[in-house]
């Protein structure tokens, strides 16, 4: 794509300067300090190359130009005695010409030539967009290697930093791009790393390591974000936790192949330290070949800093997400998904009865899952044949959809557009639409292969069928699934993950444009596509295919590093979990699903009268609290007992809060650790009460029976204390049994 001319920089802030370092004279460019919500990013723009980052972290306060220059001068001369070290400060796109020996910001060549660009700065322009952020537009070029760079750096109102690059080939021949990454420096006191891993039904497992010399690289070659995706790669001060410590984190907002890295070198690198954090898209050999005048644009990479632990780092991301124009604004409807209720056994009478029972307990959105389309009696056939199966639905889906709407609920449908079953009419008619090399058939996984969405014919077919289904049935919501990794993905003879990812984005964007009312959930065999790239065009994610509440406690706890509760689907499953075989109390299942975008995935037509009553109570509780749950700050206590978790949501003005205490396992301690409730206003006095509407299995009193003696406030069901007392001293806790949970609500007096 073509590049627009850069706006002229204000002469006072950005005067011209001599580009020869040996003869550089004043006037010189003033340093740039971006500040928001306690975060600051300091850039040195005085050199001939790209701006150097001198500081990313705590806000030094409002500085006048002389003080700012003095700070920048001090940071720019702070180096070890070794004269062979590079200049302090990390360039925004570090290269070998910067004497940078770590992962390069850019890598590429023209048939082995022009592989070491030396970009010189053309212009720097600062603007204040209407959304309240700050943006720096940086233009640079290297005529010798035929490259032009346009970098956009944004400091959002929340203090989140976002970066992306646009690289244009200005040379006469094709330029093969191997890497184009975004990196920011870390200080020397960031000495520990935290990232996430996982597998199907056990996503978001944390792992912590020391940050030694060398590279900590998380490379993803799955073609989708992956069950083992780190979401955030974090570096921090020793022992950083949810509420304490200084942390720096990064996330690549991309749904295809990508990498995150933290790298520490022996020599000083920048910002007073010797380490970097960042990432970008991971490209296969030859995947991006830029013809003359063509431009490649990277995904956005997000950077968050906090001096208040992981919760502070999450706050910045959550605040930015909630400020987006596309963020869901309406109350998140209580959803029933039919998968674990009926699986593939579709029947109008049975599903109508399920819809009526769903309405009875307060459901607001009814989603028909897998099994409605041609030949789909199990998971071995039918993907790609997106027509309602007349053998199962002789009158189509309108009778069910119309009944759902008569009951006052929205109607949703499951689809998996990016996949095709070898046993399908589509695969038989169009084998050339499969994402594979010419004359080859991919190895099936889960009885399916990938459809080449970037193929014009395949894209046109998908667009037409999805549009027809939405229009003809009156669909309000799509559960958009993606059930396998992409292997040997080839589009038009070249590696195809990049093209596939952009094509899927474009397809979703088109559907949303044609159907503005439509909401879409990103599901990928559970939580394998959770990233800010897909969430730029969808309304929630399915965090995991497991509804086992104990598994979900951990999955949702760590998914919250990146996403606020309203974007995370959380369902009440049946008593015996489909994925683990574990039996769980309905109270635990309900309270686990409460702190998110809540729903049900269970054949509730078989529920007892008592279970229906408890589900109605839970539904009412969700509707009462979702205004707080979906706008307040997510807080996770650093509880003294690792077998007991305490988390909640505190309103923006700290006048209201809800907390859930969960006992995960037994503990050797005979006396439970006190409940210390974080995030409250120290000077406010709060009324705390236990919310017992859901009750416990086999219990008609509504209360959760503890495992041992209870403190007086628990016996009363309420307490009164200041925020300082509740957070710093805490309340004596009951000894819950493993698998029990309890909900507390607080209101300031």
CA contacts within 13 A on the Cβ side of 10: 7
- Dihedral angle of Cα 579, 584, 589, 590, to the nearest 10 degrees: 150
Selected catalytic residue, list 44, 319, 369, 545: 545
Distinct helix (H) and strand (E) counts, the chain: 13, 39
481 is catalytic: yes
**Alpha carbon 450 to its chain's center:** 24
- How buried is residue 659: exposed, middle or buried, by Cβ count under 10 Å (0-12/13-18/19+)? buried
Strands 161-169 and 175-180: unpaired
DSSP 728: I
What is the sign of the dihedral through the CA atoms of 272, 106, 509 and 429? negative
**Alpha carbon 141 to its chain's center:** 33
CA–CA separation, 559 and 561 (whole Å): 5
CA–CA separation, 260 and 723 (whole Å): 39
> Which parts of 524-610 are beta strand (E)?
540-542, 568-572, 597-600
**Which of 554, 547, 555 is CA-nearest to residue 589?**
547
476 is catalytic: no
CA–CA separation, 511 and 507 (whole Å): 6
Selected catalytic residue, list 481, 485, 548, 585: 481
Strands 335-337 and 365-368: parallel
CA–CA separation, 445 and 464 (whole Å): 27
- How buried is residue 575: exposed, middle or buried, by Cβ count under 10 Å (0-12/13-18/19+)? middle
> Which parts of 211-322 are beta strand (E)?
214-220, 233-236, 247-252, 258-264, 275-281, 288-290, 295-297, 301-306
CA–CA separation, 94 and 650 (whole Å): 41
Which region holds residue 500: left if phi is over 0, alpha if psi is between -120 and 50, else beta? alpha
Catalytic residues: 481, 545
């Amino acid at each position: 794509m073509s590049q627009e001319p850069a706006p002229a920089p204000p002469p006072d802030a950005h005067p011209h300067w001599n580009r020869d370092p040996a003869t550089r004279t004043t006037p010189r460019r003033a340093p740039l300090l971006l500040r928001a919500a306690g975060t600051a990013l300091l850039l040195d723009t005085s050199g001939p190359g790209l701006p150097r980052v001198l500081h990313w972290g705590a806000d030094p306060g409002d500085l006048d130009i002389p003080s700012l220059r003095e700070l920048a001068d001090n940071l720019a001369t702070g180096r070890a005695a070794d004269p062979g070290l590079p200049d302090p400060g990390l360039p925004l796109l570090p290269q070998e010409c910067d004497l940078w020996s770590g992962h390069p910001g850019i890598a590429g060549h023209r048939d082995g030539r022009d592989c070491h660009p030396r970009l010189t700065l053309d212009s720097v322009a600062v603007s204040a967009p209407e959304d309240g952020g700050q943006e720096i537009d940086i233009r640079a070029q290297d005529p010798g290697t035929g490259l032009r760079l346009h970098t956009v750096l944004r400091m959002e109102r929340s203090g989140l930093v976002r970066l992306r690059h646009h690289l244009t080939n200005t040379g006469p021949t094709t330029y093969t791009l191997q890497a184009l990454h975004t990196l920011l420096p870390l200080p020397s006191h960031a000495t520990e790393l935290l990232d996430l891993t996982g597998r199907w039904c056990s996503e978001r497992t944390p792992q912590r390591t020391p940050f030694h010399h060398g590279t900590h690289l998380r490379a993803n070659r799955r073609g989708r974000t992956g069950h083992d995706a780190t979401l955030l790669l974090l570096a921090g001060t020793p022992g950083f936790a949810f509420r304490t410590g200084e942390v720096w984190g990064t996330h690549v907002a991309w749904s295809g192949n990508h990498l995150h890295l933290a790298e520490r070198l022996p020599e000083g690198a920048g910002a007073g330290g010797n380490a970097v954090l960042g990432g970008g898209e991971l490209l296969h050999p030859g995947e991006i070949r830029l013809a003359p005048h063509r431009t490649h644009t990277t995904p956005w990479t997000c950077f968050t800093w906090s001096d208040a632990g992981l919760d502070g780092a999450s706050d910045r991301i959550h605040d930015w997400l909630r400020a987006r124009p596309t963020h869901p604004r309406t109350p998140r409807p209580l959803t029933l998904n039919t998968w674990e209720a009926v699986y593939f056994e579709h029947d109008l009478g049975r599903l109508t009865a399920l819809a009526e029972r769903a309405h009875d307990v307060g459901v607001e959105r009814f989603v028909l899952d897998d099994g409605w389309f041609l030949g789909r009696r199990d998971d071995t056939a039918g993907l790609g044949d997106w027509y309602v199966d007349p053998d199962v639905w002789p009158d189509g889906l309108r009778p069910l959809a119309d009944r759902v709407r008569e009951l006052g609920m929205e109607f949703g449908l499951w689809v998996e557009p990016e996949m095709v079953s070898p046993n399908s009419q589509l695969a038989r008619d169009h084998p050339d639409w499969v994402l594979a090399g010419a004359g080859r058939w991919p190895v099936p996984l889960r009885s399916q292969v990938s459809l080449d969405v970037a193929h014009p014919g395949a894209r046109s077919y998908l667009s037409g069928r999805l549009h027809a289904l939405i229009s003809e049935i009156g669909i309000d919501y799509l559960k958009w699934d993606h059930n396998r990794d992409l292997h040997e993905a080839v589009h038009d003879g070249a590696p195809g993950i990049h093209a596939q990812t952009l094509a899927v984005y474009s397809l979703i964007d088109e559907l949303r444009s044609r159907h503005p009312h439509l909401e879409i959930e990103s599901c990928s065999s559970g939580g394998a596509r959770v990233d800010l790239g897909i969430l730029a065009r969808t309304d929630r994610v399915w965090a995991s295919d497991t509804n086992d509440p104990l598994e979900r406690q951990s999955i949702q706890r760590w998914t919250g590093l990146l996403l606020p509760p309203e974007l995370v689907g959380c369902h009440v499953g049946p008593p015996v979990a489909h994925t683990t075989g574990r039996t769980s109390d309905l109270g635990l299942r309900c309270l686990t699903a409460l702190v998110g975008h809540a729903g049900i995935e269970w054949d509730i037509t078989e529920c007892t009268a008592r279970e229906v009553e408890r589900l109605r109570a839970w539904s009412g509780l969700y509707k009462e609290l979702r205004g707080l749950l979906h706008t307040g700050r997510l807080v996770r206590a650093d509880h003294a007992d690792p077998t007991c978790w305490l988390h909640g949501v505190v309103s923006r003005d700290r006048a209201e809060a809800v907390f859930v205490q969960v006992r995960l396992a037994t503990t050797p301690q005979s006396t439970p650790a006190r409940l210390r409730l974080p995030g409250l206003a120290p000077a406010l006095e709060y009324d705390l009460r236990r919310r017992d509407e859901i009750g416990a299995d086999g219990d008609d009193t509504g209360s959760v029976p503890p495992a041992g003696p209870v403190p007086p406030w628990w016996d009363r069901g309420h307490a009164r204390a200041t925020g300082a007392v509740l957070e710093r001293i805490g309340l004596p806790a009951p000894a819950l049994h493993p698998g029990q949970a309890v909900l507390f609500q607080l209101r300031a007096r």
